[in-house]
């Protein structure tokens, strides 16, 4: 078991013929992911390597049975890509694209509220279930199958902590980056709930960041519902207030969103806090061996 993606997941890629789309599609295939189709309007009938390309998601789903999509289209096309996935009955849309306007995300998430589609991202590295499927842009080789679920708002910091875990021989059930934007499809609470239910996952590592209230809400969820141990690191303890640090979501303003507030909330909920980013893997090991 794992969450969101596994060895049976059939993936279609929107934007497969673009430079980024084709590069990462090849990496996913190399990892063993079942990439069954690509979608680029006007290029239906062509092939990207061995992958058949269709004009619409609907055609691709009918022909291949794809249930998940990976999105590389430019920011103005993201709304349409998500709506098309919902229309075709896909269950998961992983949006890698960076630079989507916040109002677009508000509107599209509202529009698909009644559909069964889950959106991960935008502006995220995607999801990987080690040894089974990589639906994203993370380097596959740093991962190892195991029992720790990893959720993060960051990209490369996720790779850093995963590498720390793997170096200590601690494998992962599923790792996902949920994205650094203010409005995202899947948040910490959704992932924590999924990991709590997943029999393969024994502990969860949550990597937060300054800005917003996602970590505070996660803390409330952990306190009320989680039986599995949760370890957390929050990036940005040293960040000055009011300054945007790369991610649109990572801005401390109005007294909310400071790293210290988040750590306090998590600590109060019984989450194991690690403040030294070089010792995140070690903290997970300590928690696992203490149980």
Partner 1 sequence: MKLHEYQAKELFSAYGVPVPRGKLITNPWQAYDAAVEIGGERLVVKAQIHAGGRGKAGGVKLAHGAEEAAKLAEEMFGRVLVTPQTGPAGKKVGKILLTEAVDIEKEYYLAILVDRTAKKPAIMASAEGGVEIEQVAARSPEKIILEHGSFTGDLPPFTARKIAYGLGFTGKQAGACTKMIQNLYRLFFEKDCSLVEVNPLVLTKQGDLLAVDAKAAIDDNALARHPELRGLRDFDEEEPLEILARRYGVDYVKLDGRIGCMVNGAGLAMATMDLIKLNGGEPANFLDIKGGANKQNVINAFKLLTADERVEAVLINIFGGIVRCDMVASGILEAMKEIAVKAPIVVRIEGTNAAEGRRILKEADYPFIVADSLADAARKVVAALPGGKR
Active site residues: 247
284 Cβ contact list (under 8 Å, min separation 6): 148, 165, 168, 170, 203, 205, 231
Nearer Cβ to partner 1 (139/171): 139
Q: Give the separation between CA 199 and CA 8, rounded to whole angstroms.
A: 18
Restricted to residues 243-262, the positions that interact with partner 1 (CB under 8 A) are 243-250, 254-255
Q: Report the relative pairing of strands 145-152 and 172-177 from DSSP bridges.
A: parallel
User: Is residue 38 a contact residue for partner 1 (CB under 8 A)?
Assistant: no
Tokens of 259: 């790293």
Coil, helix or strand for 147? strand
User: Is residue 225 a contact residue for partner 1 (CB under 8 A)?
Assistant: no
**Locate tokens 């960041």: which residue?**
209
Backbone angles phi, psi at 259, to 5 degrees: -60, -40
- Please pick, from the candidates 4, 159, 195, 272, the single residue that binds partner 1 as defined by CB under 8 A: 159
**Contact letters for partner 1, residues 41-80 (x by CB under 8 A):** ----------------------------------xx----
Nearer Cβ to partner 1 (52/121): 121
Restricted to residues 76-135, the positions that interact with partner 1 (CB under 8 A) are 76, 98-107, 109-110, 125
Measured CA angle at 249 (ends 248, 250), to 5 deg: 95
Say how many residues make up the chain. 291
User: Is residue 152 a contact residue for partner 1 (CB under 8 A)?
Assistant: yes
* Radius of gyration (C-alpha) of the chain in whole angstroms: 18
Per the DSSP assignment, residues forming a β-bridge with 11 are 35, 68
Q: Give the separation between CA 4 and CA 220, rounded to whole angstroms.
A: 23
- Please pick, from the candidates 180, 191, 200, 215, the single residue that binds partner 1 as defined by CB under 8 A: 180
User: Is residue 269 a contact residue for partner 1 (CB under 8 A)?
Assistant: no
Nearer Cβ to partner 1 (75/171): 75
Query: Least separation, in Å, of the C-beta of 219 and partner 1?
Result: 13
DSSP 61: H
Nearer Cβ to partner 1 (55/115): 115
Chain contacts with partner 1 (rule: CB under 8 A): 20, 23-24, 75-76, 98-107, 109-110, 125, 137-139, 142, 152-160, 163, 180, 182-183, 207, 209-210, 212-214, 217, 233, 235-250, 254-255, 275-279
């Amino acid at each position: 078991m794992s969450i969101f993606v596994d060895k049976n997941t059939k993936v279609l890629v929107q934007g497969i013929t673009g430079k980024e789309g084709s590069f990462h599609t090849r990496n996913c295939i190399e990892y063993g992911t079942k990439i069954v189709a690509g979608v680029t309007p006007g290029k239906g009938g062509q092939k990207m390597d061995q992958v058949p390309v269709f004009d619409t998601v609907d055609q691709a789903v009918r022909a291949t049975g794809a249930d998940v999509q990976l999105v590389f289209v430019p920011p103005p096309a993201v709304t349409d890509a998500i709506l098309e996935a919902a229309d075709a009955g896909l269950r998961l849309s992983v949006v890698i694209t960076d630079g989507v306007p916040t109002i677009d995300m508000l509107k599209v998430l509202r529009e698909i509220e009644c559909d069964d589609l889950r959106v991960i991202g935008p502006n995220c590295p995607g999801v990987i279930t080690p040894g089974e499927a990589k639906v994203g842009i993370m380097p596959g080789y740093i991962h190892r199958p195991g029992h720790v679920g990893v959720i993060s708002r960051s990209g490369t910091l996720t790779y850093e902590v995963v590498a720390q875990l793997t170096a200590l021989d601690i494998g992962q059930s599923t790792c996902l980056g949920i994205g650094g934007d203010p409005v995202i499809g899947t948040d910490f609470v959704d992932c924590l709930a999924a990991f709590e239910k997943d029999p393969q996952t024994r502990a969860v590592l949550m990597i937060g960041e300054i800005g917003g209230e996602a970590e505070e809400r996660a803390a409330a969820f952990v306190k009320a519902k989680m039986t599995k141990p949760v370890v957390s690191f929050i990036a940005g303890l040293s960040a000055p207030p009011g300054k945007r640090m790369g991610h649109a979501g990572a801005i401390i303003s109005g007294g909310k969103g400071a790293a210290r507030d988040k750590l306090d909330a998590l600590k109060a909920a019984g989450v194991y806090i690690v403040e030294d980013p070089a010792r995140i893997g070690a903290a997970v090991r300590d928690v696992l061996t203490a149980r």
